[in-house]
Amino acid sequence: MESSSLLYNQLKAAEPFFLLAGPNVIESEDHILYMAKQLKNITSKLGLKFVFKSSFDKANRTSSKSFRGPGLAEGLKILEKVKTIYDVPIVTDVHESIQCEAVGRVADIIQIPAFLCRQTDLLVAAAKTGKVINIKKGQFCASSVMINSAEKVRLAGNQNVMVCERGTMFGYNDLIVDPRNFEWMKEANCPVVADITHSLQQPAGKKLEGGGVASGGLRELIPCIARTAVAVGVDGIFMEVHNDPLSAPVDGPTQWPLRHLEELLEELVALGRVSKGKQQFKIDLTPFFD
């Protein structure tokens, strides 16, 4: 718990924001190690607090034919290599309570998927690992729900919790990011993270040849959502990055190209340094006469 509290405090103090980033899912050990090296180099150059992200199992795919990753045991071995070789913290997601103990032995941050943000048993099991917990807001939830989700973690004895905005359902195949949520989610009294890539998914919005559907996305709007989130004053940015997005087996349409990462982050860092979004604006309603 002590090391988790240290990381948590480093994330809270990060300026202008911290970054959770990596490819959506573990495709191979070589690919993950390559991506981790590239991401660490870029974030070190820019002075950003960085946590490497990838999933060992994508259990909530639209289709049963979708690529899921190497699974728990092999996936954690690969993530542990990243942690050891590049000396970076790890964030990965869990889908079942039974996974939490094993994941907690490797990951520094355990992420709760948006679909599962109200699952009490999962939140409690994750909390009991003592790791930092990042809870994604369900696409079907109001921001106020995250106050309750964060409190479930705290009541389980873990104060190291964060909440993450990843868009709200807007019709059947679209999400919308309401910037007001970045402000309202601060009522959970913890760091607020903006997921700037999943927020631009189009769930089940891409028809496949031969029938069936997959998630589409609006990659070109990632800079728009990122600029908005940083200007509003979020504590952290979550984004999925790939060196070859068109070949990515999962969420290719919403993974940011590695070749453009440094350029985008440079702009976001500059924007974050001039924005006063993290400060409460004091509004004076007394009569004004000039």
- The β-bridge relationship of strands 168-169 and 175-176 is antiparallel
pLDDT of residue 213: 52
233 pLDDT above the threshold of 60: yes
pLDDT on residue 149: 98
Structure tokens at 250: 């999962």
Query: Phi and psi (nearest 5°) for 198?
Result: -60, -25
Find the mean pLDDT for residues 16-27. 97
pLDDT higher than threshold 60 for residue 90: yes
Confidence check: pLDDT of 68 > 80: no
| Chain mean pLDDT for the chain | 92
Give the model's pLDDT for residue 57. Answer: 81
Q: Which of 108, 195, 235, 251 is catalytic?
A: 251
Q: How many Å is the maximal CA-CA distance in the chain?
A: 69
- Which amino acid is residue 153, in one-letter code? V
Residue 24 annotated in active site: yes
Which of 21-25, 55-59, 140-144, 262-266 comes out lowest in average pLDDT?
A: 55-59
For residues 244 and 60, the model is more confident at 244
**What are 6's two structure tokens?**
């240290």
Q: Is the pLDDT of residue 205 over 60?
A: no
Q: Which of 193, 149, 199 is nearest to 178 (CA)?
A: 199
Looking at per-residue pLDDT, the higher value among 206 and 249 belongs to: 249
Q: Which two tokens stand for residue 179?
A: 């910037």
Residue percentage of the chain with pLDDT more than 90: 84
Q: In 3D, which of 194, 219, 215 has the Cα closest to residue 58? A: 215
Q: What is the pLDDT of residue 173?
A: 85
Question: Among 58, 131, 136, 137, which one carries the catalytic annotation?
Answer: 58
Q: Which of 24, 134, 158, 160 is catalytic?
A: 24
Is position 251 annotated as part of the catalytic site?
Answer: yes
- Across 227-274, the runs of DSSP E, i.e. the strands, are 236-242, 256-257
* φ, ψ (nearest 5 deg) of residue 242: -145, 145
Residue with the larger pLDDT of the pair 216 and 160 = 160
Phi then psi dihedrals of residue 186, to 5 deg:
-65, -20
| Stronger pLDDT, 200 or 204, i.e. the higher one | 200
Reply yes or no on whether the pLDDT at 245 is more than 60.
yes
Tell whether the model's pLDDT for residue 104 goes beyond 90. Answer: yes
Please check whether residue 258 is in contact with residue 241, taking contact to mean a CB–CB distance below 8 angstroms. Answer: yes
Query: Which residue carries 């985008």 as its tokens?
Result: 264
pTM above 0.85, yes or no: yes
* 3-state secondary structure at position 288: coil
Q: What is the pLDDT of residue 11?
A: 97
> Is the pLDDT at 217 greater than 80, yes or no?
yes
Question: Residue 241 above 90 pLDDT?
Answer: yes
